[in-house]
Amino acid sequence: MINLEAPKKAGALINQAYQAAAEVFRPISRKYDRAEHTYPTELDMFAALLDGLNSSGEGGAGAAGVRRSGSDDDAKGNRNGANLNVVLGTIEMCWGDVGLLLSMPRQGLGNAAISSVATDEQLERFSGMWAAMAITEPGFGSDSAAVSTTARLDGDHYVLNGEKIFVTSGERADAVVVWATLDKSKGRAAIKSFVVEKGTPGFEVVRTEHKLGIRASDTAVLRFENCRVPRENLLGTPEIDTKKGFAGVMRTFDNTRPLVAAMAIGVARAALDETRRILTSAGVEIDYDRPANSQHAAAAEFLRLEADYESAYLLTLETAWMADNRKPNSLQASMAKAKAGRSVVEIALKCVELTGAYSEESLLEKWARDAKILDIFEGTQQIQQLIVARRVLGKSSAELK
């Protein structure tokens, strides 16, 4: 039986992450929202502290990826491990500021991708690297199978050609995990991921985007023109298995989608906490012992939003628990991402509506802008619903589009 409560042993980590969010992130949140494309230097010392926690096995406060264990010992009993720790830590940190979390050195979504599919040798070689992830291209948005960036084997190198857009931390990161196809004629099965380090000839950061939200983080357009990448930087196996298809690189999303769901939950809780404070100071009582329809309309709406938040939170914890216990979680990862992404947008906007916090005097205005990207990147709402439908109905991507 799964117990969807934060385990007691995670209490210290949750408290540390909360303190960091309250003492480090919140005080500079508006500063870097206004100073878009300025690197938050305050994060350097904090990132070094997180590195120490992660190397000691006590980590989880950041967004770095975690790896499923394959040992028989880990299969016994009920485990609450690294996946749950990362999710719980991410929630707390994004209560502080999601854009600043995405700006943390060595905590990129590309790190989660490396963790998902890298060999043990690659894990060691790329240890300590800050990795972004590049999937989306000008010719497609959420259909990851439509990758047109090519990777051609030439001796000991793969030659990459193509363009990637909307790459979070694409300018600041040490490397980028790039999705490219080895052979377009073989479809999805030929799509592989490559670690491309900054400074590699043929790798260019074209520009950084001006954005609606998460302005503390950089979002870049990247170009690869005859970019030679060592063949050992291909993550996982180079073989094209048409029977296995897209499953190899898609395992990345089993790690990253729960992280994005956790980010959404952190922002939603921040909005709810601030709204509760404002409503209470205005004399609106939120009473959990009375039916919602017998309370102030603002209190009733708040209770509805809080229930929506709780359901997204529990779905996300379930997904992390499944990963820790070596259970397939692709369906649950998409469910959590869809639910949390949709919920955070509605919660943040409704909180602005309930409080009238439409100016920069309140962080609610900022959180309403930050929220939308959490419903878009790592697969839009519509894509997640399509994946869930395929899983539930037992349909292939060709059968249900």
Active site amino acids: 378
Beta strands 203-208 and 175-181: pairing type?
A: unpaired
Q: How far is CA 347 from its chain centroid? A: 19
Other C-beta atoms lying within 10 Å of the C-beta of residue 312: 25
Token pair listed for 372: 């939308």
CA gyration radius, the chain: 21
Spatial distance between the Cα atoms of 282 and 292, rounded to a whole number of angstroms? 18
DSSP collapsed to 3 states, the chain: CCCCCCCHHHHHHHHHHHHHHHHHHHHHHHHHHHCCCCCCCCHHHHHHHHHHHHHCCCCCCCCCCCCCCCCCHHHCCCCCCHHHHHHHHHHHHHHHCHHHHHCCCCCCHHHHHHHHHCCHHHHHHCCCCCEEEECCECCECCCHHHCCCEEEEECCEEEEEEEEEEEECCCCCCEEEEEEECCHHHHHHHEEEEEEECCCCCEEEEEECCCCCCCCCCEEEEEEEEEEEEHHHECCCCCCCCCCCCHHHHHHHHHHHHHHHHHHHHHHHHHHHHHHHHHHHCCCCCCCCCCHHHCCHHHHHHHHHHHHHHHHHHHHHHHHHHHHCCCCCHHHHHHHHHHHHHHHHHHHHHHHHHHCCCCCCCHHHHHHHHHHHHCCCCCCHHHHHHHHHHHHHCCCCCCCC
